[in-house]
Structure 1
Amino acid sequence: MKLKYVLPVILVVTLTSCGRFGNSKSDTTDTRIVCLSKQYNEVIYALGAEKNLVAVDLSSTYPPAIKSLPTVGYHRALSAEGIIAQNPTLVIHDNNIGPEPVMRQLEKMKIPMKTFADSVYTIEQDKAMIRQLGSYFKKESQADSLCKQLDAEITQALANVHQYTDTPKVVIIHFGRAMNIYLAITQKSTAAKMISWAGGIIPIGGDKGMQQVSAEMIAQADPDVILLTDFGYDKLGSIEKIKELPGVAGTRAAQSNRIYRIEEHDIVYLGPRTGANVLAFQKLIHAVK
């Protein structure tokens, strides 16, 4: 085996064995869960059921406490060695994982796996996911409270829409790439639903929820508001730098300084904070003080 492949495995095993991530003798005899879904992980923390999590996928970034756990790769580019090194008694995923050779290797090792709702595109499906996880972790009352809060916040957001006279066009950019190509969120996305619930519209179409678009497409969309996810915004560093980007400079959003930073995990999936996130987006896109 080449050295470059050996080192990551050694590092994972070393970090795990030294207890950096809080895996003490008192909890290693209990269930050891590796969860490969950012949606599930957020719900698990919201339920207060995270004590048996020992590792997560790279896309699981909320809540902040989850960043103290080791990661086993991006959910579509997982490391079998990283997962195995955590000695899991259960792997939880949402059927959006890979690559296939890694999954076959885990199946051969007979590591137990479990999925919950893997289609979460509506508020009802969102609540069903929360309740399923609540039932599994014996946190039914917490799940019920989360669902009630979600309902209340979405109801408030939808009621708020009636007071607005505008329907702002919102372009969401994940990050810019070479040759003036951007990775943008389209009308066929969870984000588009959330922006719609907030009283706005995403003008960029496409077959996928997130796809590459040209600077010309951004300019033609001429959004009233531009939202940049944390990765892209932080890479550029300031609104002035963003306003200099090809395709962005001449938009109404740039001219009125209506360019805002958002966290990617707030916009790409539905979860227990979806109602709160929609309310927050509502304030941004309608310029509510």
Structure 2
Amino acid sequence: MPLMRSLAGALGLYLALTAPAVMAGPRVVSADGAITETIVALDATDLLVGVDTTSHYPPQVVGPLPKIGYLRALPLEGVLSLKPSRLITTEEAGPAQTIERIAAAGVDVVQLPVARDVPATLARIERVGELVGHASEAQTLTGRMREQIEAVQATMAGKADARVLVLLAAGDHGVMLAGRDTAADALLKTLGLANALPDVNGYKPASREALLVSRPDAIVIAEARPGEFRADQWPGLTQLPAWQNGYHVAASAMLLLGFGPRLAEAMQTVANVIPDANASPATTAHAQ
């Protein structure tokens, strides 16, 4: 029996030494909703050990994952408690001291550029693919997205330069006007559309006066959460011709402003409510 045990032990050691190594993927924390969406779209969800509070799509996938807080106010202990090997976020993440301390703790911190146009969006997706070991899947995804985006842009003949009013229904922050140098303005540019508020910079609180002078051809409402915008509380908006004629849509802010793998869908959502010279009044749309 001792000899048999010795032989069995030797055989086990031999098999352990000669078996192919199984390389575990990185333990990833994602602190950006669009980056999280990308990781899911690349079928790398199994690498995620935690996400930030801007990551809520698709809900059935990211909902059960631990939340580490908001990407601009990352908690040191909250991130490190998940024992990640890599934190993937954007240049908007902070505070800077926390980012530095996370990196000093041995976590590979990758801060990607903020995407605000089509090339930057596709490049970021491909970079995320490299970081999670799904580069070929990322190439396939961006190739498909290019075709979809070009198809949407092709539908804009006769609609370019339409004036679009974009409102952000931001929960506790109220309803905001989306002016220049915002993700909303960047989305309009992908379609060749004009911001109805060219003199507003950034996001500003909405007012009845600003709505009346905007004279939009279409209205887009980005909701932080479904149903957050209450049209009955904004009679100045609902009396505008664009609203009366049905050229308006309410959709998820992450869809519209995230510049992630659903960018073509976001562009199509806006394109659907842009009138052209021969259009009949559209029906109200609502997208999540």
Asked if Structure 1 and Structure 2 have the same fold, meaning a TM-score greater than 0.5 normalized by the shorter chain, the answer is: yes
**1:191 matched residue in structure 2:** 184
Q: Which stretches in structure 1 are left out of the alignment for 5+ residues?
A: 1-28
Structure 2 residue 187 is matched with structure 1 residue 171: no
Q: Are 1:216 and 2:209 counterparts?
A: yes
The equivalent position to 2:253 in structure 1, one of 261, 264, 267, is: 264
Alpha-carbon distance in structure 2 between the residues aligned to 1:159 and 1:288: 20
Return the letter of the residue paired with 2:143.
K
Supply the AA of the counterpart residue of 2:105. Answer: M
TM-score by length of 1: 0.76
Q: What do the CA deviations read for 1:106-153 (whole angstroms, capped 9, x no partner)?
A: 24433331234x142332222221222222323222112111111111
In the alignment, the residues of structure 2 paired with residue 232 and residue 216 of structure 1 have an alpha-carbon distance, to the nearest angstrom, of 26
> 1:40: how far off?
1.6
Q: Distance in 1 between matches of 2:248 and 2:184?
A: 17
Is 1:253 aligned with 2:242?
yes
User: Are the structure 2 counterparts of residues 47 and 166 from structure 1 closer, same or farther at C-alpha, using a change threshold of 3 Å?
Assistant: closer
Q: Which residue of 1 aligns with 2:16?
A: none
Instruction: Please list, as runs of the form range in 1=range in 2, the aligned pairs for 1:70-219 lying within 5 A after superposition.
Output: 70-116=66-112, 118-162=113-157, 164=158, 167-175=161-169, 182-198=175-191, 200-205=193-198, 208-219=201-212
Q: Pairwise CA RMSD of aligned residues? A: 2.8
AA of the residue aligned to 1:270: F
**4+ aligned runs moved over 6 Å, structure 1:** none
Largest Rg, 1 or 2? 2
Inter-CA distance 102–53: structure 2 relative to 1 (3 Å threshold): same
CA distance in structure 2 between the aligned counterparts of 1:181 and 1:219, rounded to whole angstroms? 18
Paired residues, what number? 254
**Rounded Cα–Cα distance in structure 2 between residues aligned with 1:227 and 1:71:** 29
Report if aligned partners of 1:243, 1:254 keep a CA contact under 8 Å in 2: no
TM-score (norm 2): 0.76
More displaced stretch, 254-263 vs 207-216: 207-216
| Deviation at residue 173 of structure 1 after TM alignment | 1.4
User: Is the contact between residue 47 and residue 134 of structure 1 (CA under 8 Å) also seen in structure 2?
Assistant: yes
1:278 is aligned to 267
Tell me which residue corresponds to 2:57.
62
**Inter-partner Cα distance in structure 2 for 1:226 and 1:211:** 16
Which runs of 5 or more structure 2 residues have no equivalent in the other structure? 1-23, 276-280, 284-288
Secondary structure of 1:204 counterpart: coil
Mapped pair 1:227 → 2:227: no
| d(CA) in 2 for partners of 1:166, 1:275 | 17
Q: Judging changes above 3 Å, is the alpha-carbon distance between structure 1 residues 165 and 273 closer, same or farther for their aligned structure 2 residues?
A: closer
